Structure 1
Amino acid sequence: FFLCRITAEHSLYFCQDAGKEQCIFPLPEPQDLFQASQMKFEDFQKDLRKLKKDLRVCETEAAKVYQLSLEEHLQPFKDNMEQFISQAKIDQDEEEKSLAEAHKSFLETAAYFCMKPKMGEKEVSPHSFFSIWHEFSSDFKDFWKKENKLILQERVKEAEEVCRQKKGKSLYNIKPKHDSGIKAKISMKI
């Protein structure tokens, strides 16, 4: 908690918008980190394998349609399906590469922070990694909001003091009005 408070105070003093509504929280939102902790690379790999299998089934079914259809009824279905299947294979390969790169980057990041796998696990899981960051980000955000509010209150006090000082120092002098009209002459006679 102490680290969160010091870090929150420190980050706000370097933020030009500290104490203002447009001041942006400098860390990922705690909810985003919580959602990241719920993901599993194995689930994504399983989903990609299922998509690959579905694509093969689609390709097989399209081949059956090609064989059973008359040549005059085959177009534009055949060209469209071939284009679809070709693009789907490219997309599938790109998604598999992206997942492998993301998994590798995650493991490198976990190693950078000296995270070790829990007992019985072969590698650091997103749950164990992001759960820690979720807690830190939640605590940090609480302290950050408090510090931002204190800075806002300080700025309001400073602005009020400037206003008080300006009211005390008038930019022009007001001289009392000397009565010179009819009322003044009548009241002098009485």
Structure 2
Amino acid sequence: MSKLSIQTGTHHGGVVLPDGTLAQVAIDFDVLRRLGELARKKYGLGGVVQHGASTLPDSAFHKFVEVKTCEVHLATAFQNLIIEHEAVPESLRQEMYEWLKVNAASERKPSDTEAQFLYKTRKKAVGPFKKHFWTLPEESLKAIGESLEKQFSFLFDQLNIKGTREVIDRLVKAPEIHQPEPQAIKSSQKELIEGLSD
């Protein structure tokens, strides 16, 4: 074990209100600080990981540095930025939502409004609709990329990680991983050439 994962006032993916918007949450940064100190000093861990931070207001992010949080999970924020981006056609979003109504219907709680259900399950449509997103017009991809870059830049500044490349290169040695070609790819290549005549 290298770190302690916690949720102090947050919920994975955010607390979704009946209209599909997200509730404002408050994080107990003092709990983060105290648990982080305990994790480092008593157990030799890296510190604490804050889950569910994607839905916090921008004004909260600099506080994670102040209390020495070792990880802040933000995947939902980036997923939301892409799915809700103005460069994504509304027709694509609606197609995703229709897909969810069929393919994720069993996950809908009786108390969920349609907006809550669609928000909570939208991540399940990312894989099946990945090609749709990757093949958006170039200008749409550029606009989404610029928005992502702006958000990453903001977070890098707030989380105080700008200019840390030298430290990362010195301390993090990513292992080279070599894996054999998957059998499914080998099989599909064989199928493509079988039956071809000279």
Between Structure 1 and Structure 2, whose CA radius of gyration is higher? 1
- Relative contact order (C-alpha < 8 Å, sep 6+): which is higher? 1
Report the TM-score, using the length of structure 1 for normalisation: 0.24
Which structure has the highest helix share of the two?
1
Report the TM-score, using the length of structure 2 for normalisation: 0.24
